[in-house]
């Protein structure tokens, strides 16, 4: 029980600033970190994700993260998505500040949200809340196309440079309020919202394909939220399921 509570406490942290697919990537593939100085630390991080998944499993409804997702996270260089002064902390299983009051999410939560999308490789995915760009980079290895929206102009700019520098050609990004989705690129097979909303944005439901799935933290943006799965049936009917308590930074904007 103690291990479970500890794991949930860790999971509850994802977006909160503390105190403030190819299964195998080739060297030279986008974001391939294989062979860099952080390889060992990435392996340890993935080991920790496995343990948390096992402990949180009964709550999250998933006691293991898929091997393809873990394999990607073992290779995407998270240290290149955090401010340089925090690089030595990049592979700890916790969120880190990325400036402008925002955070890069806890690796376990990135793994869980990615795994829950159940990507097969051919999907068009929308991410709301680009932040550092790390989640989009992970998704890019598992889906055909990733579209990501960030509301903070500076973060949108920084992540755009990262995608370019690291060769993420299948990621398109824009600055704006992701509450409204990206109608020109819709519909999407999968949507992941990485900031806390008080309700599921209707434009996102409209832009989800029948048979598609959205993962979103819902609840009071300033306290704890519940990670939810929103599924749109082939007949267009929408069903929601609650997963586990989490804490993300708020979904902002005028909506």
Q: Which residues are marked as active site?
A: 105
Closest approach, Cβ 14 to ligand SAM, in A, equals 7
Per-residue contact flags (x/-) with ligand SAM for residues 97 to 116, judged by CB under 6 A: -----xxxx-----------
Whether the Cβ atoms of residue 125 and residue 156 lie closer than 8 Å to each other? no
Closest approach, Cβ 155 to ligand SAM, in A, equals 5
Using the rule CB under 6 A, is 128 a contact of ligand SAM? yes
Question: Judging by beta carbons within 10 Å of its beta carbon (0-12, 13-18, 19+), is residue 199 exposed, middle or buried?
Answer: exposed
Closest approach, Cβ 236 to ligand SAM, in A, equals 25
User: Footprint of ligand SAM on residues 22-61 (CB under 6 A)?
Assistant: none
Closer to ligand SAM by CB, 233 or 253: give it: 253
**Which of 66, 178, 181, 212 is close enough to bind ligand SAM by CB under 6 A?**
178
Per-residue contact flags (x/-) with ligand SAM for residues 183 to 222, judged by CB under 6 A: -----------xx---------------------------
Using the rule CB under 6 A, is 139 a contact of ligand SAM? no
Q: Which residues sit at the interface with ligand SAM, rule CB under 6 A? A: 15, 102-105, 128-129, 131-132, 134-135, 149-152, 155, 177-179, 194-195, 248-249, 251-253
């Amino acid at each position: 029980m103690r291990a479970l509570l500890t794991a949930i406490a860790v999971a509850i942290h994802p977006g909160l600033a503390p105190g403030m697919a190819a299964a195998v990537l080739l060297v030279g593939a986008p974001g391939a970190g294989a062979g860099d100085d952080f390889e060992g630390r990435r392996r340890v991080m993935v080991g920790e994700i496995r343990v948390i998944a096992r402990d949180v499993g009964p709550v999250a409804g998933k006691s293991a993260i898929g091997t393809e997702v873990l394999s990607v996270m073992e290779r995407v260089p998270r240290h290149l998505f955090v401010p340089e002064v925090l690089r030595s902390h990049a592979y700890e299983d916790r969120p880190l500040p990325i400036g402008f009051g925002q955070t890069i999410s806890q690796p376990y939560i990135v793994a869980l949200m990615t795994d829950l999308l159940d990507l097969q490789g051919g999907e068009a995915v929308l991410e709301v809340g680009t932040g550092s760009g790390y989640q989009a980079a992970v998704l890019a290895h598992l889906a055909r196309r990733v579209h990501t929206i960030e509301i903070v102009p500076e973060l949108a700019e920084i992540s755009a440079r990262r995608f370019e520098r690291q060769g993420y050609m299948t990621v398109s990004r824009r600055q704006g309020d992701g509450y409204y989705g990206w109608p020109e690129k819709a519909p999407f097979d999968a949507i992941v919202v990485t900031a806390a909303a008080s309700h599921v944005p209707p434009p996102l439901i409209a832009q989800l394909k029948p048979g598609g799935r959205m993962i979103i933290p819902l609840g009071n943006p300033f306290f704890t939220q519940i990670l939810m799965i929103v599924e749109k049936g082939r007949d267009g009917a929408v069903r929601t399921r609650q997963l586990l308590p989490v804490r993300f930074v708020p979904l902002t904007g005028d909506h």
